[in-house]
Amino acid sequence: MSSVTVPLKKQIIFGFLALVIVLVALEGIVRFYELNNPDCTFLHKDAFDETGYFLTRTICNNFNTQLYEDWGVDTIKIPVNSPNQHSTTININSHGFRGEEISKQKLENVYRIFVIGGSTTFSAASTSDETTVPGYLQHKFESENLSFKVEVINAGIPTADSFSETYLLKNKLIDFEPDLFIIFDGWNDAKHDVNMWTDLLKESDVKTDFEDETGSLFKFKNFPYYRTPFLIFDIFFSHDIYWNNYLIDETQTSQKVSLWENRWKEVCELGNQTGFDVIITVQPALGTGNKTLSPDETNLAPYLDEHFAIHRVMEDMVYSLNNLEKNCKKTVDLRNVFDGISEPVFYDPIHTNSFGNRIIAEKIFELSLPVVLDKN
For 158, phi then psi, to 5°, come to: -50, 135
Higher-scoring residue by pLDDT: 308, 283: 283
Asked if 307 and 247 touch (Cβ cutoff 8 Å), the reply is yes
Band of residue 12 on the pLDDT scale cut at 50, 70, 90: confident
Quote the crossing angle between the two packed helices 133-142 and 354-374, to the nearest 10°: 50
| Residues 42 and 123 sit within 8 Å (Cβ to Cβ) | no
Higher-pLDDT residue of 300 and 188 is 188
Q: How does residue 323 score in pLDDT terms, banded at 50, 70 and 90?
A: very high
Q: 150 near 141, Cβ under 8 Å? A: yes
Read off the pLDDT band of 23 (50, 70, 90).
confident
Phi/psi class of residue 91: alpha, beta or left (left: φ > 0; alpha: ψ in -120 to 50)?
beta
- Of residues 104, 115, 46, 11, the one with CA closest to residue 293: 46
What mean pLDDT comes out for the span 270-284?
97
Helix (H) or strand (E) holding 91, with range, is: strand 91-92
* pLDDT for residue 53 is more than 90: no
Burial of residue 215 (CB within 10 Å: 0-12, 13-18, 19+) is: middle
**What is the average pLDDT across 43-51?**
89
| Residue 115 main-chain phi, psi, to 5 deg | -100, 120
Mean pLDDT of 60-71: 86
Model pLDDT, residue 218 = 40
Give 47's pLDDT tier (boundaries 50, 70, 90). Answer: very high
Q: Is the pLDDT of residue 341 over 80?
A: yes
**pLDDT: which is higher, 361 or 375:** 361
Instruction: Report domain 40-374's class.
Output: alpha beta
CA distance 90 to 102: 16
- Residue 221 or 282, more confident: 282
CA dist 231 to 5, 21, 33, 227, 359, Å?
Answer: 40, 19, 9, 6, 36
3-class secondary-structure state, position 282: strand
* Mean pLDDT value of segment 333-357: 95
Rounded Cα distance, 373 and 151, in Å: 14
Q: How far is CA 237 from the centre of its chain?
A: 23
Query: CB of 162 within 8 A of CB of 264?
Result: yes
Question: Which pLDDT tens digit goes with each residue over 66-115?
Answer: 889 988 877 788 999 999 999 999 999 999 999 999 999 999 999 999 99
- Comparing CA positions, the residue from 96, 125, 86 lying closest to residue 213 is 125
CB 154 within 8 A of CB 98: yes
| Weakest-pLDDT range from 26-35, 141-150, 316-325 | 26-35
CA dihedral 189→350→348→118, nearest 10 degrees, is -60
- What does the mean pLDDT of the chain come to? 86
Residue 194, pLDDT score: 84
Taken as a whole, the chain contains a residue count of 376
**Given phi > 0 = left and psi -120 to 50 = alpha, else beta, which region is 74?**
left
What pLDDT score was predicted for residue 249?
Answer: 82
Mean pLDDT, rounded, for 258-277: 97
In the chain, the percentage of residues whose pLDDT exceeds 70 is: 82
Q: How many CA atoms lie within 13 A of 237 on its CB side?
A: 9
Q: What confidence score (pLDDT) does residue 11 get?
A: 79
DSSP result, 114-150: EEEESHHHHTTT-SSGGGSHHHHHHHHHHTTT-SSEE
For residues 165 and 196, which has the higher predicted lDDT (pLDDT)? 165
Cα 334 to Cα 32, 88, 224: the distances in Å are: 42, 30, 40
> Is the per-residue pLDDT at 314 higher than 80?
yes
Every domain of the chain and the residues it spans: 1-36, 40-374
**pLDDT confidence of 227, banded at 50, 70, 90?**
low
The pLDDT value given to residue 241: 52
Q: Is the pLDDT of residue 242 over 90?
A: no
pLDDT bin (cut points 50, 70, 90) of residue 238 is low
Residues in CB range of 358: below 8 A, 6 or more apart: 131, 136
Name the residue type at position 233.
Answer: F
pLDDT at 224 over 60: no
